[in-house]
Structure 1
Amino acid sequence: MRDFALDEKTRAILESALRVFSTYGFKKTSMDDIAKGAGMSRPALYLYFENKEAILRKLTELHYEEKAAAVAKALNVDGPVSQVFGNAIRVQTDGMAEIMSSAHGLELLDAGISMASDIVTQGEAQLLELYANWLEREAENGRIRLFDSPRETARMIGAALRGNKIAATDYQQFDRMNTNFATIVGAGLVVR
């Protein structure tokens, strides 16, 4: 978890929550489980978060902040278009192995979507904007050709990544699908 101005206790709580959510599932995790993992009492935990839903919302918010920063950095590197695009996809999907390979990973993803849908919508929109801006910039510089607007192409990228997450039976397949997707789309964007 990157440091987005989190104090030590908040970071410990969030790291503990992620561990216990992955181990026991969101529904079966108690605030006491999270507090123990963070090395604090349950009453102390309530000084930081009112419930586990608030913790999950914060984890979702930090996830999208981290992914947006990583994708922005990856898309602002000089290099071959297919390599830049592939790196952006890789950093966006990096870290999913731990979640997808845990016994309760899909439950955790579903809980995040249902309890933090506003954050997910905003985060996905921010990622879409990053890809759309990059596509527009690359097209204006004559480095890529687009078959639709930058925004619609970025929408397709986001939809494909979400589809890969749903279709994959495990992390290895998810990673392979994303790598293949990045390779195919990256090659298709390049002006020949």
Structure 2
Amino acid sequence: MQVDTGRIGQSDDKQQVILTAAMAAFAQYGFRRVSMDEIAKRAGMSRAALYLHFRNKEDIFATGVELYFEQVAGAMADVLHGAGDPVEALRGAFAAKVAPPYDMLMDSPHGEELIDLKTTAAAGVVAEGDAKLIAVISDWLARAQAAGRVTLEDYGTPEDAARTILNALHGVVMAARSYAVLRADLDRLARLIGRSLRS
């Protein structure tokens, strides 16, 4: 699925209204049951007006996923560069990865369908998003290593370690069955990894 990435980041209030309406509908009814008519109605516009912004609901979903990754990458970078201790840095970064509206997804009876859809209908967008997150974590590790706050002696390059950290985070996310458990497990993972990285 190709997404018009030129739209992301632009100040388009209508587009944000559409994305918010669509994600709420997907969480309530599941992706398959939601029509473009339903999204248009929730967004307060005609179906024709909706098609001026998006080709179909797959396009809406992929654009929402892309926007999510952009927001998460920015939030993670802010947290990682603002924290000195590796444990606190990772606790904040992991919390940013699953910040609201991720809770809405986890608490939805259709959350599993939407997570699966993320890896099929938006697979390319997810791969690009993961690459952004790896770059953010890698940059933090390189800076923290240079400052003497972490050691990567047993973990390879900053990029190798960042990829492993993100894969571990994904494993915890995929195994979680509730948002509260997810947050607790990610906090535990941050402490495990952060303590092992301390110089």
TMscore range, shorter length: over 0.9
Aligned AA for 1:163?
G
User: Where does 1:167-178 land on structure 2 (aligned, <5 Å)?
Assistant: 167-178=175-186
Aligned AA for 2:84?
G
Give CA deviations for 1:8-32 in whole Å, capped at 9, x if unaligned: 2111111000000000100110001
Q: Take 2:83 and 2:94, find their aligned partners in 1: how far apart are those partners?
A: 16
Q: CA deviation at 1:6?
A: 3.3
Structure 2 gap ranges (5+): 1-7
Q: CA deviation at 1:57?
A: 1.0
8 Å contact 2:36–2:57 — kept in the other structure? yes
Q: CA deviation at 1:78?
A: 4.2
Q: CA deviation at 1:80?
A: 2.2
% identity of equivalent residues: 37
Q: Take 1:166 and 1:71, find their aligned partners in 2: how far apart are those partners?
A: 19
Report whether the alignment pairs 1:183 with 2:183: no
1:119 maps to: 125
Aligned AA for 1:159?
N
> Which segment drifts farther, 110-119 or 74-83?
74-83
Give CA deviations for 1:68-111 in whole Å, capped at 9, x if unaligned: 11011111114322212211111122122111111111111211
Moved over 2 A (4+): 3-6, 78-81
Q: Take 1:164 and 1:54, find their aligned partners in 2: how far apart are those partners?
A: 28
RMSD: 1.3
Aligned length: 189
1:148 maps to: 155
> Which segment drifts farther, 89-98 or 45-54?
89-98
